[in-house]
């Protein structure tokens, strides 16, 4: 989802963004299933936490880019290319398939999780695990149900750049714990516990990664 850059100076490319003071690039190589959150930190909030924890639980790999507080610059996914980042290049070469975690907000879609990307078998696999964990949400893994600009079909999108391709998941604010409902949660429950929807989301993603057959295409 496009976001406003509040720093004043706009990086002109993904490489420029990575070179901006305060921006952190993270790479954890584990298994050949990978999770990405390159719009993380203060941009599409909580996406990097969801992706990194799902990866850790599943023994999967993780790549993230975290923007600091006060910065919200959106680089289009198709411009996030491995020639601009050795760490991203290593990640994409290491992984067979990937799931890219994004955040979005559209009126009337506060409970819709959108599963785009070019690996439609993986999208349906991940979707089935998310339905098990999040029955109150609509898990949309049919491209016809997803707005065109959120389908993640461009060949240069990192979710499509591994050997087996991958999935782009767009998460509304509520399932990331960013809605008034989530704010109300700690007043009625143990404040050391995270909002339940976030926990179920992470578990569904981790289950999908663990149960993805390594020879699947």
Walk along the chain (217 residues) and give the pLDDT tens digit of each residue: 443 333 445 677 999 999 999 999 999 999 999 999 999 999 999 999 999 999 999 999 999 999 999 999 999 999 999 999 999 999 999 999 999 999 999 999 999 999 999 999 999 999 999 999 999 999 999 999 999 999 999 999 999 999 999 999 999 999 999 876 655 445 445 545 678 999 999 999 999 999 999 766 4
pLDDT at res. 195: 83
Report residue 109 as tokens. Answer: 């879609």
Q: Are the CB atoms for 65 and 77 separated by under 8 Å?
A: no
Q: Which of 65, 49, 59 is nearest to 201 (CA)?
A: 49
pLDDT at res. 96: 98
Domains of the chain: 14-210 (3.40.630.100)
pLDDT at res. 179: 72
Q: Where are the beta strands (DSSP E) in the chain?
A: 24-28, 33-41, 61-67, 97-103, 112-116, 138-140, 166-171
pLDDT at res. 208: 98
pLDDT at res. 43: 97
CA gap 86, 184 in Å, rounded: 42
The pTM for the full model equals 0.90
Q: Which of 94, 73, 52 is nearest to 206 (CA)?
A: 52
**Separation in Å, CA 200 to CA 59, 79, 177:** 18, 31, 11
21 CB-near residues (< 8 Å, 6+ apart): none
């Amino acid at each position: 989802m496009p976001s406003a850059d509040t720093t004043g100076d706009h990086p002109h490319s993904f490489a420029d963004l990575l070179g901006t003071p305060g921006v952190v690039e993270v790479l954890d190589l584990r298994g050949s299933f990978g999770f990405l959150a390159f719009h993380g930190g203060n941009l599409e909030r909580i996406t990097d936490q969801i992706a990194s924890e799902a990866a850790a639980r599943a023994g999967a790999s993780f790549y993230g880019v975290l923007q600091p507080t006060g910065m919200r610059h959106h680089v289009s996914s198709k411009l996030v290319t491995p020639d601009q980042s050795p760490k991203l290049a290593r990640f994409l070469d290491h992984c067979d398939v990937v799931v890219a975690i994004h955040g979005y907000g559209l009126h009337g879609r506060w409970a819709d999780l959108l599963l785009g990307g070019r690996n439609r078998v993986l999208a349906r696999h991940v979707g089935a695990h998310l339905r098990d964990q999040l029955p109150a949400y609509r898990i949309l893994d049919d491209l016809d149900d997803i707005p065109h600009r959120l389908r993640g079909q461009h060949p240069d999108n990192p979710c499509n750049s591994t050997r087996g391709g991958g999935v782009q998941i767009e998460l509304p604010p509520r399932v990331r714990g960013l809605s008034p409902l989530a704010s109300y949660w700690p007043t009625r429950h143990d404040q050391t516990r995270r909002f339940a929807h976030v926990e179920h989301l992470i578990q569904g993603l981790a289950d999908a990664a663990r149960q993805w057959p390594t020879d699947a295409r």
